[in-house]
Amino acid sequence: MFPTANTEDIVQVTSFKTNSGGSSNERDPLSSTQVAKQQNRDITLNMLIKEMVFCVALALTTYGALHNTSTKVSKYPQAVRFFSTDSIVKDWYRGQLSNALSAINSVDVSFVMYYAPWDAESQYVRGEFEKAALILRDYVHFSAINCWNPGSECRLHHSKIPSWPILMAYTVNSRGVLYKGPRDAHSMVNFLQMIMKPLERVSTTEHLVHLLSICDAVAVGYTPLTDTSRYYNIWYYAAMKAREFDTVGEICFAVVTSEELAIDLGVEVMPNARMMLWNDTKEFLNNGDIQSWNESSLLHWVLENFSQPVARVIPMWKKAFSFERYVDGNPILILFTPLNPLYEQLPSYDLLREVAMEYYNCNNNESTQWTSELIKLQQVQRLLYQQKDFVKFCQQYKFKKSVSKHNLYYKKEIVSQNNKYPWSNVTQKSQKTGSVNILIKRGLPIPKLADGSYDESQVLSSLALLQECISTELPAEKSFYDNYEQCQSQNHDRNVNIEENSEEHLTNLETTMLPFEDDPLSPDNLVQENVKHFCKLMKFAYETNPPAAPTRIPTKEEKQNMTNVHGLACAKNFSLHMLAVDSVANHHFAEFLGIDISKRKDKTIAVILNSKHESQYVLSEEYSAKSIRDFIYNFTYKSLKRSLRTHVEDAAHTHYYGSEGKTTSKGTNNSSIEVIDLTTRSFKKLINTPGTVRLVMVCGGSCGAARARALAAAARRLRAASVPARAARLDALRHDLPWQYSGHVHPTVFVFPADMDKEAESRSYPSMERITSSGLVALALRSLAPPEQLRVRLHICQRAHANEEKKICLKYTREHVTTVIDRSLKYWRWNEHRELKDALLKRLQYLHQVSLDLSVLHTSDLNSDNKRYETLLSNLNLLSKTWKIDMSNVRDKKTRS
């Protein structure tokens, strides 16, 4: 195991026995053998020592491994309830996934929140989730599952959830629908309302027209139920799945199950689907390939073809991606208005949609006539909706209790040989009576109608108008659009009349209905429950904000004088992107643009952003049909005044630098400098303030402490030299400036001279240089008159530490005075006007006196108590008083001569 010699040693031993020479010394072989043996012993000893060290190390390692205790790992905390015990939400806080799914499968609709108890977003959504549960507790089952608890069933099945919480809606006949919308209770309730009723069944043409008037787009599936319901189910699942991408319901999904109605609407191949947009209609199966009728194809087709004149942007976490597709160089119009999803219509949003349809409806468009008719239809619907008062309706609605006794008006049988429907006579009688009363109120007396003495054409037009107004749905005929105001007044009269007639005939009512029982699903009880649920939703919606509507309905004269924006998108080489943003949930967007949205009527304002010219324009008037059209028209033809955004109106907070001397009650002293935080308005006020040198630093964000200290130090040096100066800074990311003061790089320092006539000659600091106090003082010197420059230079010489520095400073000051004298002397020689020459001569006398004082001034005289220094300062004061020459009198005398 242990070798005693290497190969070389063996060779040496054998060679000494065989090789011998006569000339060799006889003692050499013996000495060689002894050396070889000694080397073998050393090698063997070294190997033994190495093996012993290895064995000891191995023994110690084995001993440590056998006697080492296992690593202690802290146990995860025990799961606790995330929702309170009295909460409506069923909390599966231990992650019991199978039990939760069993409860979910036993109800029609359920909404599940997969959460992690430590997650901040889950903790925020918890309160909103409970609010939604309070509203829909009778219709939707709400559950919450702790899917983070280690070792739980939910964690084992779903171990790779990227973020929390996950919100899923389930129904008994479909797969889960992921909720990707805003995490507030109103949006959740609206989403669940669409899940409970994903399709609107269309039974008449008027019903379809009504959907077109209130929706951005209508996706209609034509699936007759004659043979099978498979096609209907596929369309139903596609409508459900679409809510993952359309969480607010911009696309209305409808279905036509009547084959006769489908044929009347021009659909030849069934099943089929149509996407009815504001300017076009897309058809799904043009070639009759029924094999493509599946959920994925339908969903892809709907989302690909959907377009709208006004895009409703809902910024989530990645706000840049929400606006990215609209930033293509064209200007953007953003309407900030409350977009509460629980309201069926949003009049402020609908008004902008009407204007956008006019704006994009060019004359060369094939669907010009269709779009014009749709605009009128939507306008009628918006005006009708604005006049509704849901609070008053819910307060005055008389809710009845469930009837559990026999009906007093029950009759076994009614036999009639004249009418197909026994109740037809009563209904017709009420309508005719109401019609006659309305005609009388309109000034058409019945006796004249009977005698035939009244104009027949007027009677026929009135009856036609009455027939249109009686319709429960909005008709598709164009004549109704021009008479909707008259319809409104007649509808009011007719409703009052019907109420009177219903009360009159209530006691004589006869019916063939069975006696009422205490059935919660009876027709009356269902109506009552539906109204209660509607009023509950409206009350919940009003808690956030009431419906926002434009200022008022325009009169006929205003309609005639309304600005025409029809086809303006094709009039110029640019077109506006029109967006709508919820001003309640995203008010910070408006604040960043310098708009206090809380001070606007209905929290509604319109803004145009022009990234190409780096400008923005804010609607100054109240939002109305006229003001928004004027706003777009004036922007198109460049007659709008640019709006300068500012974050706050006044600078309430200021910062002070310096601690020398005695502190005053305000926290400042004579040596301290106030660095003012400017806004757009206070910036204009500051630069228009005469008598002071203004140092303004414009930064892209906060200016930073180092730059602010340099700004304050420069202002302090100027003040110490008896030059009035003010220091200020401005955040350019929050406050806009006029064009001439917009810097290309940040920070930018402007120096405004004390003389107001030289505001246009303001100087800026070199962009590539480091901002220092000495550099700012040097820049300020360029804007000062020579007397103030000399005063500042003397102060700099006085503050110099080394004597050599003071000598150099005085040398440069004397050279500067010599240069000023030389320039003034040239002006005196070249000028021929007597009064001007006398003024220049007086200036030269004081300059020569200052130059003489400087020539005898020594470095040791740079002291405030020195007589030579005081004499020099007094002469500089006299020079300052005579330096400015009034040239207006000189010009007047020149013109007279």
HEC per residue, 103-149: HHHCCCEEEEEEECCCCHHHHHHHHHHHHHHHHCCCCCEEEEEECCC
| pLDDT score for 709 | 86
Q: Does residue 226 have a pLDDT over 80?
A: no
The confidence band for 479, taking pLDDT boundaries of 50, 70 and 90, is very low
SS3 at position 165: coil
| Of the candidates 557, 552, 570, the residue with the CA atom closest to the CA atom of residue 627 | 552
- Cα separation, 386 vs 212, in Å, equals 18
Q: Phi/psi class of residue 567: alpha, beta or left (left: φ > 0; alpha: ψ in -120 to 50)?
A: left
CB 592 within 8 A of CB 616: no
- Model pLDDT for residues 583-607, shown as the tens digit of each residue: 888 888 888 787 888 888 888 999 9
pLDDT of residue 487: 55
Q: Per-residue confidence at 113, pLDDT binned at 50, 70, 90?
A: very high
Write the single-letter amino acid at 419.
Answer: N
Residues 6+ apart with CB under 8 A from 499: none
**CB within 8 A of 118, min separation 6: which ones?**
148
3-state helix/strand/coil string of 171-214: ECCEEEEECCCCCCHHHHHHHHHHHHCCCEECCCHHHHHHHHHH
Scanning the structure block, which residue is given the tokens 């007719």?
Answer: 494
Tens digits of per-residue pLDDT, 285-327? 766 677 788 899 999 999 999 999 999 988 875 555 677 788 8
At residue 429, the pLDDT reads: 35
Q: Please tell me whether residue 695 adopts helix, strand or coil conformation.
A: strand
Kindly tell me if the per-residue pLDDT of 191 is higher than 90.
yes
Higher pLDDT, 520 or 274: 274
Q: What pLDDT is stored for residue 205 in this prediction?
A: 87
Q: What DSSP state is assigned to residue 73?
A: -
Per-residue model confidence (pLDDT) at position 217:
92
- Tell me, rounded to whole angstroms, the distance of Cα 774 from its chain centroid: 43
Predicted confidence at residue 196, as pLDDT, reads: 92
Pair of tokens at residue 419 = 């009418």
pLDDT in the model for residue 127: 93
Query: Which candidate, 509, 535, 539, places its Cα nearest to that of 399?
Result: 535
Contact 190, 254 (CB under 8 A): no
d(CA 677, CA 728): 6
Q: Which of 350-359, 495-504, 865-874 has the lowest mean pLDDT?
A: 495-504
| 3-class DSSP assignment, residue 67 | helix
Q: Give the pLDDT confidence score for residue 691 in this predicted structure.
A: 77
| Count of residues making up the chain | 897
Give the lowest-confidence range in 174-178, 734-738, 890-894. Answer: 890-894
More confident: 288 or 88: 88
**Which pLDDT tens digit goes with each residue over 606-615?**
999 988 887 8
Looking at residue 758, what is its pLDDT? Answer: 52
Name which residue leads in pLDDT, 159 or 766. 159
CA distance 190 to 181: 10
Q: Is 253:239 a contact under the CB 8 Å cutoff? A: yes
54-68, 353-367, 410-424, 711-725: lowest mean pLDDT where?
A: 410-424
Average pLDDT over residues 235-262: 92
> Alpha-carbon distance 896 to 654, whole Å?
53
669 vs 283, residue with greater confidence: 283
pLDDT > 60? residue 510: no
- Which positions ≥6 away from 562 have C-beta within 8 Å? 554, 625, 626, 629
Q: Are 334 and 579 in contact (CB under 8 A)?
A: yes
The whole-angstrom separation of Cα 851 and Cα 840 is 16
Mean pLDDT computed over 127-153: 92
- CA angle in degrees (0–180, nearest 5) for 39-43-45: 115
300: left (phi over 0), alpha (psi -120 to 50) or beta: alpha
For residue 266, what pLDDT is reported?
87
pLDDT attached to residue 236: 92
In angstroms, what CA-CA distances link 873 with 165, 719, 773, 777, 822? 75, 15, 24, 20, 21
Upstream peptide bond of 165 is cis (omega within 30 degrees of 0):
yes
Instruction: Report the SS3 class of residue 251.
Output: strand
Q: What would the two tokens of residue 868 be?
A: 């030579």
* 300 three-class SS: helix
Please state the rounded mean pLDDT for residues 82-92: 93
Structure confidence at residue 464 (pLDDT): 43
Can you tell me the mean pLDDT for 198-204?
91
Where helices occur in 242-367 by DSSP H, the ranges are 259-264, 295-305, 319-323, 347-360
> Tell me: the pLDDT tens digits for 394-428?
888 877 665 554 444 444 343 333 333 333 333 33
Task: Give tens-digit pLDDT for 834-848.
Answer: 778 787 888 888 788
Task: Specify the higher pLDDT residue, 889 or 118.
Answer: 118
Q: What's the token pair of residue 849?
A: 């006196």
pLDDT at 68: 58
Q: Which amino acid, one-letter code, is at 588? A: H
Q: List, edge to edge, every strand of the sheet that includes 251-256.
A: 200-201, 251-256, 217-222, 272-276, 281-283
Residue 286: the pLDDT is: 61
In the block, residue with structure tokens 């799914």: 101
Residue bearing tokens 């959920």: 295
At position 3, the amino acid (one-letter code) is P
Report the distance separating Cα 800 and Cα 859, nearest Å: 10
Q: How much is the pLDDT for 805?
A: 80
What pLDDT was estimated at residue 37? Answer: 64
**DSSP symbol at 271:** S
Q: What value does the mean pLDDT of the chain take?
A: 75
pLDDT for res 149: 86
Residue 717's Cβ-count burial label (10 Å; 0-12, 13-18, 19+) is buried
Query: So what's the pLDDT on residue 300?
Result: 93
Q: How far is CA 703 from CA 659, 713, 737, in A?
A: 21, 15, 16
- Is 80 exceeded by the pLDDT of residue 445? no
511 vs 391: CA distance, rounded Å: 33
**Residue 217 pairs with which residues in a beta bridge?**
251
Name the 3-class secondary structure at 729. Answer: strand
pLDDT of residue 757: 55
Beta partners for residue 698, in sequence order: 730, 748
Q: What mean pLDDT do residues 792-803 have?
A: 79
In 560-569, which positions are buried (b, 16+ CB within 10 angstroms) versus exposed (e)? eeebebbbbb
Q: Which residues pair with residue 200 across a beta bridge?
A: 254
- Integer CA distances (angstroms), 468 to 308, 427, 441, 473, 501, in order: 30, 17, 18, 9, 21
Most confident of 554-568, 628-642, 798-812: 628-642
User: Which of 239-248, 334-343, 481-490 is predicted with the least confidence, judged by mean pLDDT?
Assistant: 481-490
Q: What is the pLDDT of residues 703-716, one digit of tens each?
A: 878 888 888 888 88
Dihedral sign for Cα atoms in the order 299, 304, 309, 311: positive
- Quick check: 686 pLDDT over 90? no
Contact between 141 and 111 under an 8 Å Cβ cutoff? The reply is yes
User: According to the model, what pLDDT value does residue 650 have?
Assistant: 44
Q: Report the C-alpha gap between 399 and 407 in whole angstroms.
A: 18
Give the mean model confidence (pLDDT) for residues 656-685: 61
Spatial distance between the Cα atoms of 877 and 865, rounded to a whole number of angstroms: 17
Write down the pLDDT at residue 190: 94
pLDDT beyond 80 at 476 = no
**Cα separation of 235 and 273, whole Å?**
9
7, pLDDT greater than 50: no
Instruction: Find, among 885, 801, 799, the residue nearest to 843 by Cα.
Output: 885
Token representation of residue 613: 């010219």
